[in-house]
Amino acid sequence: MDSLTEQRLTSPNLPAPHLEHYSVLHCTMTLDVQTVVVFAVIVVLLLVNVILMFFLGTR
């Protein structure tokens, strides 16, 4: 039983770096998506401000 538990404890250590690397990549992907969404929202707000200033300036 001790050898089996040792194998079960040591075997997950092999794919652990791959899973951690994948989780880091997944976190960076989600961060990239969040930054893209934030930039899109900022650009939309800037465009809305420019359009409102243009219409208010013409009126």
What type of residue sits at position 15?
Answer: P
Say if residue 4's pLDDT is above 90: no
- Residue 47's pLDDT is what? 96
- Token pair 């800037």 is at which residue? 46
Residue 4 in any domain: the answer is: no
Residue 44 in any domain: the answer is: yes
pLDDT tens profile 8-48:
555 555 555 555 555 665 666 666 777 888 999 999 999 99
Residue 48 in any domain: the answer is: yes
Say if residue 57's pLDDT is above 80: yes
Q: Which residues of 11-49 are buried (b: 16+ CB within 10 A; e: fewer)?
A: eeeeeeeeeeeeeeeeeeeeeeeeeeeeeeeeeeeeeee
Rg (C-alpha) for the chain, rounded Å, is 25
Residue 6 in any domain: the answer is: no
- Residue 25's pLDDT is what? 59
Q: What's the domain range around 42?
A: 20-59
Of 37, 55, 35, which is closest to residue 47 (Cα–Cα)? 55
- Residue 16's pLDDT is what? 52
- Residue 58's pLDDT is what? 77
Residue 56 in any domain: the answer is: yes
Q: How many domains are contained in the chain?
A: 1
Residue 29 in any domain: the answer is: yes
Residue 11 in any domain: the answer is: no
